[in-house]
Chain A
Amino acid sequence: MAAISVKVCHMVFLVVFLLLALILAFSVGSVPLSVFSVFSGSATDVERIIFAEIRAPRVVLAAIVGASLASSGAALQGVFRNPLGDPGLIGVSGGAALGAATAIFLGSAFNFSGWPVLYSIPLAAILGASFVTFFLYKFTSYLGHFSIITVLLVGIAINAFSTVGIMGFQYLSDDAQLRSLVFWLMGSFARAEWETVIPAACIILSAVIMLCRQTRALDQLQLGESQAFHLGVDVKKLQRFIILSAAVSVGVGVALSGIIGFVGLVVPHLIRLTLGVTHRILVPASAILGAALMISADLASRTLIAPIELPVGIVTSTIGAPFFLWLIARAKH
C-alpha cells in the first residue's frame, strides 16, 4: 500500500512539473508575459499576439516532440528488450534528417520562398522518415523473418547512409545553406507555427495513445518472445506495430524540430527508477516527463545566454551524454 502511494505521489509530481513548466515557458522570454493576464483578457494586443503566434506554438511543439521521443523510446526499449534502445537507433531520425537536409540544400539552390519553405523541410523530413520505416518493413519482410537484430542492423546501415548524405550536403553547401543545415541538425523549436504544429500534434498524440494500448503485451514480451506467444501475444505484429508507430511519431517530431538526442533514452530510465518498469505506467509517464523536460530544455535554450538562443539539441545532449555514460556504467554492475 505504501509503495502504491509513493508511486501516486510521483505521478502527481510529474503532472505538476508539466503544468509548472508550461506556465513558466509561457511567461518567460524576451518579452515577459503573464499567462493569467492573457487568459483574463487584460493583456495588450502585442502581448496576446506574442503569446498566440510565437510562444504558444513553440511550447506546444516542444511538449509534443518531448512526449513523442520519450514514449517512443520507452516502447522501443520494451520491444528490443534492451534499456539502451532509442528512436535514433532504428534509423528513423537519420532518414528524417537526410530528407530535411536535401530540402534545405535544394530549397536554397532553387531560391524558393514563402509556403514552400514553410512546408518543404518538414515534408521532406516526414518523407525521409516514412521511407526509412517503409524500407525497414519491406526489407525485413523480404528477408522472411522479423528479428530485432535485423532491425537494429538495418538501422545502423541507414544511419551510416544518412550521415554520408548529410556530410555530402554540408560539403557542397554555401555559407547560408550550411548555417541553416547545422541549425536544423542541432534541433530547435524556434520555427514553430500553428500550420505545422497542429497536424503534428494530432499525429503524435494518436501515436502515443496507440502505444499506450499495447502496454500489457509489451510487459508480457519481457518474459521472452516465445513465452509471450504462449500468453497469446502476436509477437511479430506487436513488434511491427510499435516500430511503425514510433517511426511515424518520431519522424513527424524530427521533421519540425530537427534532431534532439537523448530524450528518448534518458526519460524512460528516470521513470523506471521512480515509478517502476511496468509499461502500463512507463509509457504514459514517459510521455508526460518527456514533454515537461523538453519544455524546460527549450526554456533554458532561449534564456540561458539571451538574447542568443542555443539550439535545444545542445542542451539535451549536454545533459544526456553524461547520463548515458552513467547508465552504461550502471548496467555493467
Chain B
Amino acid sequence: MPLRAKSISVRKNKHLILDNISISLKKGSICSVIGPNGAGKSTLISALSGEQAPEVGEVYLENLPLGELSLEQLARTRAVMEQNNNIVFDFSVEEVLGMGWVRDALGSSPLATEAVSKLADLCQVSPFLKRSFLSLSGGEKQRVQFCRALIQIWQPPGESHTKYLLLDEPTSNLDISHELAVMNILKKIGEEGVGVLIAFHDLNLASYFSDEIYLLNEGEVVASGPPSEVIRSDILSEVYDSSISVEERKGKLHVYTH
C-alpha cells in the first residue's frame, strides 16, 4: 500500500516544474530524490504531501487519491520536514515540538508528553527543551524540526498503521556526527515500517542509506532504482554537468568530483 505519484505534472507560474513523474514510496523503504538545484525535488515533496495538486496525474495514498482524504487523515499518515525554519514569535523548543502532535487537539495529553520526551531523547534535543527556539543555531533548529516531524507520525506500542515521512534536505545544516545520527534514526524507523523519502544534495549519504534512488533533472526522472543503478559516473557526470567519479569500496559507493 504505497504512497505513489502516477504520471504527475506540476506547473508553477506557468513553468513546468515536474513533467510526467511516477514514483512509489513503499512501506519500510528509504527512498532518496537527488538532482541538481531546480530539478524539482522540493516540488515533488510538496506534491507527494498533498500540498501542491498536480496539473496532470494523481497522487495516491493506499489507492485513494490524496484529494479524497481529509487534512486530518493526511496529517496523521504523513509528516513533512521542510527547509524553512522561520518562526516569528519566541516559542520554546518544547512548544515547537508540541505543535507536531496531531493525534488529538490538545498537544499536552500524557501520551503527547511521553512521545515528546522519548523522541527528544532520541534526537538529542532534550538538553534544550526549555530554551527559546529562536536562540538555537541553524543545526539545532533543524534537529528540533526533525524531531517535530517524528512526533507527528509517532504511534504508541501496539499500533501499526503505515506512516510516511517526507524530508527536504534534513541534514543540510548538521555536523557530521549529527548527520549520521539523523540517518541512523531514519534507517531505524524505516525498519519499523515507515516509508521515508528524502531530498538530498549529498550523493554519498543518498547512496549509503537508500533502498532506492530517483535522479531528477529539469523536472523529469532521469534514472531510478537501487543505488548501484543510479549512482554511476556516466549518469551523474551528464546530469550535474561535471566530471564525477564513483568508486566501490568495502561494498559501498563513493562519489567524488575532480
Contact = CB atoms under 8 A, between A and B. Distances in A.
Q: Do A and B bind each other?
A: yes
Interface of A: 3, 81-83, 216, 219-220, 222-224, 226-227, 229-234, 272, 276-278
A226 B51 contact: yes
A316 to B, nearest CB: 24
Nearest to B49: A230
Interface stretch (B18-26, B95-103, B241-249): B95-103
Nearest to A78: B89
A3 B95 CA distance: 14
Given A222-B87, A232-B74, A272-B90, A278 B82 contact: no
Contacts of A276: 90, 92, 95
Contacts of A224: 82, 84, 86
Interface string B117-133: 00000000000001000
B80 A230 contact: yes
A231 B99 CA distance: 8
Contacts, number: 66
A216 to B, nearest CB: 6
Given A227-B84, A232-B72, A232-B75, A222 B102 contact: no
A226 B46 contact: yes
B172 to A, nearest CB: 17
Contact of B102 (A226, A231, A234): A231
A229 B89 contact: no
A277 B89 contact: yes
B88 interface: yes
A227 B46 CA distance: 10
Nearest to B99: A220
21 contacts: A3-B130, A83-B89, A216-B105, A219-B99, A220-B99, A222-B88, A226-B51, A229-B71, A230-B51, A230-B74, A230-B75, A230-B79, A231-B75, A231-B152, A232-B75, A233-B71, A234-B71, A272-B89, A276-B90, A276-B92, A276-B95
Contacts of B193: none
A127 B87 CA distance: 37
Nearest to B71: A232
A229 B46 CA distance: 11
A211 B130 CA distance: 27
A233 B46 CA distance: 15
B3 to A, nearest CB: 14
Given A216-B107, A230-B49, A81 B88 contact: yes
Nearest to A233: B71
A227 B79 CA distance: 9
B209 interface: no
A276 B132 CA distance: 11
A278 B90 CA distance: 9
Given A81-B88, A216-B106, 19 more contacts: A216-B105, A222-B87, A222-B91, A222-B99, A224-B82, A226-B46, A226-B80, A226-B84, A227-B80, A230-B51, A230-B74, A230-B152, A231-B100, A231-B102, A231-B152, A232-B75, A233-B71, A272-B89, A277-B95
Among A83, A230, A276, the most chain B Cβ lie within 10 Å of the Cβ of A230
Interface string B52-89: 00000000000000000001101110111010101111
A231 B96 CA distance: 12
Contacts of B152: 230-231
Contact of B95 (A83, A234, A278): A278
Contacts of A272: 89-90
Contacts of A82: 88
Contacts of A3: 130
Contacts of A230: 49, 51, 74-75, 78-80, 82, 152
Contacts of A219: 91, 95, 99
Nearest to B98: A219
Nearest to B73: A232
A82 B75 CA distance: 26
Nearest to B52: A226
Contacts of A231: 75, 99-100, 102, 152
A219 B107 CA distance: 11
